[in-house]
Structure 1
């Protein structure tokens, strides 16, 4: 097949392009800008566009399909040419479904935890030499790409994102996969720019549940009331498998999972991650992995990239970075670090970076999210607010939203960096939470803080 990618440089898009190239497809693409690591990874496969920009002349009747990324706009000149020629235009999730129609589709959904759960499943399957196709939203240890597609594998494991499919397809991605086996980890309002009310957001998960093929399987977290209600009120003819947080203890900074064979030391920690593990275990069992095989494999799971990822550690301090940005994720991650390091000072730094987090109306959702931190810092860029064309957010609004009088707020990247690098890190656990980079913070440089 001859495939062209409009906006090939995206995290998901470039991985799909590489996966199709590895499968033997003819792949071309365009983008107006491409950042690392996408740029180098595309270049290594000979897929990096020679020049950046949009070139409608690349769109010809010789193409079998065009895959449209979210980064493109509805008036993109290449898209308009493809529409004019009547070419088949796929969104990213539509194309993944086309590639997996004959496979058993396993889709992991939820407002939080889906990347980690998908990563756990893939780690366990890889450990047990079970080959599957997959798409996951983070780079995993032991995996070359975030997307893998074959003709022969029976299963495909897909991370099911509830965000929109493409600029011309406003359906949430996970509505398009039609899973045979699915999981819901939790529901907490997000993407306010697309789903302006919680009820509207909640509805997407009901649609997802009802999209499971008849006779299929739903694994779901019953400790989340919204998930419980969505799944248990669904009239879809599916089998329902609930899960809860397994029993565990923390001993001298190590989390021990209670198993039939005794306490199992884990590399991961936090109640939310133990919940994730319970869900991943159910899914793996439905894919043919026995309980003993699951426990043996999960012991060595170190986590997905940017999910409580340890940057640096010495005898008296540790620094983590985490993708957490929504209120529920921030609260869960901060609580996990506090419980794991009860005798240390917890410094939690959060960047408000997404559309939702910078929305003045949505800010109140953050109340209590940083309460478990001994010292709490919020960084945001007024420029980011302006770029997103949002109403100006004041420092006072942020303090009132978090309901924390001692909250430290920075809007200048250099001032935040100076603060961070001047801290006494003795007997501390530091958490850097962001889907951005604090206005240009070099995480490699951060590694030297406590050396």
Structure 2
């Protein structure tokens, strides 16, 4: 098979390219720019384009499939040439389905927790030496790529998000996988540039349920009212399996699953719900509760998901991918609840299109109220880059409904302030889906005052 990927440098695209190369396909690709770590990883496998930019001469009639990344435009010259030649053109989720349609497909959807639930399932399957393929949205310890596709694995575990599949396929990605076993972790409005109303957004999850194969399994969080209502209203031919927070206790900053007191490396109600979702999936794949608990006790978490950067006496420093209102609230609550005897400094970076929209910003009401000190950072250049109306400090405080919240738009001033605080019996939680204001987080953690 000869495959060409247009916009090969994307996080999912470059991992798919590597997976197909490992499968034995002839893989080529193109992009106008490729950043790290994609650049080094593609180069390692001889897949980095020799020249950047688009060239229609790369597209020839002997190519078996074109995979089109979201970064490409509808007028991309390579895409136009492929259309002219009548080549098969896939979005990456459509091609993943093409490669997995004879397998049991487990698809994890939801507005939050997708990567963690997927990671937990992979960890448990790996622990029990099961054969499986996967697609996950973060680099995991023990897995050299974020995508694996083989001919022999009977299962494929897929993190399925609701963003658009490609520039010429405007369906949400998770609609294309046709799950045999599906998970929905929750519904909290996001991607307002694509789904301008909450009703539009919720509709995508109702449609996702309809894409599950007949008599398939739908595992869903019954504690999410909107999700529960959506599931109950669905007439799809699926078996509905609800889950909530498992029985547990917290002692000395460690969470234990009950009744057998299985110690965990992760914590927080949101992670316990994620764990319960993974447990339900694994049960459908033949792994009982005892086998699941034996494996999950060594799960250390996905990258940037409450990732512990440093721990010194009574001060822990974490980084987390949280950026949407629901993720922000759940993550802050988790750290504060786990360490009730410590103060919490919570810093988050707003940088996504949704979060910088003045109307959507109202969704952040009370999202940081559990923190003892709440800090919001926005790079002043972001508004210009996104061609958006700048937000003011007062806009931020009004939206969060917190007059004590601190606002920074200068990274150097933010760093100076963070270092000026005393972190004795205090945790620092830094949250962003971006660059964390460009801070060197391990270096920052090592320089904090704790006495």
TM-score interval, normalised by the smaller of the two chains: over 0.9
The residue number in structure 2 matching 1:341 is: 339
Is 1:418 aligned with 2:402? no
Q: How does 1:323-338 map to 2 (within 5 A)?
A: 323-338=321-336
Task: Check conservation: 2:344, 2:428, Cα contact below 8 A.
Answer: yes
- CA displacement at 1:366 relative to structure 2: 0.1
Looking at structure 1, the residues matched to 183 and 436 of structure 2 have their Cα atoms a distance apart, in angstroms, of 33
Matching residue of 1:156: 156
The 2-side partners of 1:394 and 1:364 are apart by 14
CA contact under 8 A between 2:349 and 2:437: conserved in structure 1? no
Q: Which moved more, 1:1-10 or 1:81-90?
A: 81-90
Map of 1:46-445 to 2, 5 A cutoff? 46-259=46-259, 262-445=260-443
TM-score of the aligned structures, taking structure 1 as reference length: 0.98
> What are the superposed Cα offsets for residues 207-259 of structure 1, whole Å, 9 maximum, x if unpaired?
00111111111011100011111112111111111111011111111011113
Mean CA deviation greater in 307-316 or 119-128: 307-316
Aligned residues: 449
| Deviation of 1:446 (Å) | 2.6
Kept after mapping to 1: 8 A contact 2:106/2:182: yes
Q: CA deviation at 1:423?
A: 2.3
**TM-score scaled by structure 2?**
0.98
**Rounded Cα–Cα distance in structure 2 between residues aligned with 1:167 and 1:419:** 42
The 3-state SS of whatever aligns with 1:439 is: helix
* Structure 1 unaligned blocks of 5 or more: none
Q: Which moved more, 1:128-137 or 1:46-55?
A: 46-55
Aligned residues: CA RMSD? 1.1
CA distance in 2, matches of 1:224, 1:25: 43
Which 10-residue stretch deviates more, 423-432 or 96-105? 423-432
Deviations 1:53-75 (A, max 9, x none): 11221111121111111111112
Q: Deviations over 1:156-195 (max 9, x none)?
A: 1101100000111110000001111101110000001100
Quote the residue 2:42 is aligned against.
42
Shift of 1:48: 1.0
Q: Is the 8 A contact 1:380 1:438 kept in 2?
A: no
Distance 2:429 2:7 in 1: 33
CA contact (8 A) 2:430 2:436 kept: no
Q: In the alignment, what sits opposite 2:11?
A: 11
Determine if contact 1:330/1:370 at 8 Å carries over to the other structure.
Answer: yes
Contact kept, 8 Å, 1:313 with 1:450, in 2: the verdict is no
SS of residue in 2 equivalent to 1:201? helix
- Structure 2, unpaired ranges of 5+: none
Separation in 1 of the partners of 2:60 and 2:416? Answer: 53
Shift of 1:35: 1.5
> Residues 160, 102 of structure 1: CA spacing in aligned structure 2 closer, same or farther, 3 A cutoff?
same
1:450 positional shift: 4.3
Structure 1 outlier segments of 4+, above 3 Å: none
